[in-house]
Amino acid sequence: MKKQLLAVACLGLSFVGNAQNTATLQADSGKVTINKHIYGHFAEHLGTCIYGGFYVGENNTKIPNKDGVRLDIVDALKKLKIPNLRWPGGCFADTYHWKDGIGPKAQRPAMVNTWWGGVTEDNSFGTHDFLNMCELLGTEPYISGNVGSGTVQELKDWTQYINLAAGTSPMSKLREQNGREKPWNVAIWGVGNEAWGCGGNMTADYYANIYRQYATFMAGADKKGLFRVASGASDADYKWTETLMKNIPHQMLEGVAIHHYSVLSWGEGKKTSATEYTDKEYFKTMQQALLMDELVTKHSEVMDKYDPKKKVALVVDEWGGWYNVENGTNPGFLFQQNTMRDAMIAGATLNIFNNHADRVRMANLAQVVNVLQAVILTKEEKMLLTPTYHVMEMYNVHQDATLLPIKVKTNTFEFEGEKLPAVSVSASKDAKGLTHISLTNVDPKNPQEITIDLKGAKYVSVAGRILTAEKLRDYNTFDNPNKIQPKAFSGATIAGNQLKVKLPAFSVAVLELK
Ligand code: AHR
């Protein structure tokens, strides 16, 4: 209970029983840009994210593809405007040797994917496949280097292979031999992943030293320079962040990661069902999701101590709901369905990130296709967009917009004596001068009405879209893929300088004000 009150206080919200929800928007006080990279995604060599997910093979005649990459997925991700895609892991990254994934596919060596299901990885999807796919998607690649079982030389070579101009090094020559003349100029690199766990079980001090060594030899992207992300803390391990911020010179550090999943227990089969969760499990999952506010607040405070000018970004490069796998699927593949609970996690989490945009400048939902809180699920030729997809799509209006301060007083969503804030909100103004407000009501039973005082601008009209469903546990299926999708929203009205919004229970709305 104590922990919850703390989490709630850190959300910067106060509670007013069952009174009206209220908020004040300062439309003329925006100073911070919501970095589009907050809306990033993650593709690991895990289960059917890549193989059988977006990569169906060059010889596939049933599913339209370009170089083996499904075109329906490309189309859907383009609509989402995904700003970056993290690859090849995750835990897999620290087992991955990139040279195994270049050159003629038939000659590539195989390996065992030891973290995820013990399956054979034939390396048919490698560096060229990934980077060409990013070009097709119009997204920036975010590559996680192998620190746990690789070498400094190996990561140095990889950065040179990808980033150096043609003819300038043995690595760029090798790239040319493999059919690519121009460098890809990849700026965003992770220096290992979860170094405290699957990335090598290192101590923070040891990793900070190793980071310095690896970061020294990485080759920059033309003009852009490198954006190097240190493998960060799990959840509330503030000591880890402190050690990195203290011991790594900031001129060789652009981002520090953290990972936080909305999970109730880590034991296999001991999480909640993705679709048949109890009311209590719903509450507890939301408690975990909303804890993100406390986590980014406190990690930011630690960073502020060493970097008051906020040069180093906080990068939440793994977040999302983690449940039991679907019955009959490989436990190592982490395939789970996606209900309105996931839409609630996405809406509330993205509001948190937006409102912390001064320090949180990048994030990656885990994961993009068929794994954990995926935005897309596939079954052979069929593909569906999950409720999480729709939230990410509705919220993409905030990408690179100016964050507008908004103070909220919200009712609580209560369960067995514990409380969570019901409504979360964030707002921004885009380059065209349009104001967008995103609102999430995580209360599964009660609609919430909110009155927002609009200060510093005169608005005359409001329009928007809403995502909700008949039941909280509803989800899209391959037979009924459009059961849940955004609809036009008529529950918002402007009168003078007041905006009134009627949010149904478990709903996400994004409004546009003119
Ligand atoms: O996203 C699944 C796994 O979760 C990643 O591989 C790892 O980094 C984390 O523990």
Tens digit of pLDDT for each residue in 338-353?
999 999 999 999 999 9
Q: What is the mean pLDDT of the chain?
A: 95
Find the 464 Cα to ligand 1 centroid distance in Å: 35
Structural contact between residues 46 and 334, judged by C-beta atoms closer than 8 angstroms: yes
Predicted confidence (pLDDT) at residue 436 exceeds the cutoff of 50: yes
Which secondary-structure segment (H or E) carries 436?
Answer: strand 435-441
Q: Which atom of ligand 1 is nearest to the CA of 91?
A: 6
Q: Which atom of ligand 1 is nearest to the CA of 366?
A: 1
In degrees, to the nearest 5, what angle opens at C-alpha 417 toward C-alphas 415 and 420? Answer: 55
193 lines ligand 1 (CB under 6 A): yes
Tens digit of pLDDT for each residue in 171-190?
999 999 999 999 999 999 99
The residue whose C-alpha atom lies closest to atom 9 belonging to ligand 1 is 90
In degrees, to the nearest 5, what angle opens at C-alpha 52 toward C-alphas 234 and 200? Answer: 30
b/e per residue 157-174 (b: at least 16 CB within 10 A):
bbbbbbbbeeeebebbeb
The active-site residue, picked from 140, 194, 254, 294, is 194
Q: How far is CA 335 from CA 323, 366, 418, in A?
A: 9, 12, 31
The residue whose C-alpha atom lies closest to atom 2 belonging to ligand 1 is 90
Q: Which atom of ligand 1 is nearest to the CA of 318?
A: 1
Note if 318 is an active site residue. yes
Predicted confidence (pLDDT) at residue 8 exceeds the cutoff of 80: no
Predicted confidence (pLDDT) at residue 50 exceeds the cutoff of 50: yes
pLDDT for residue 79: 97
**Token pair 């990934």 in the structure block, residue:** 130
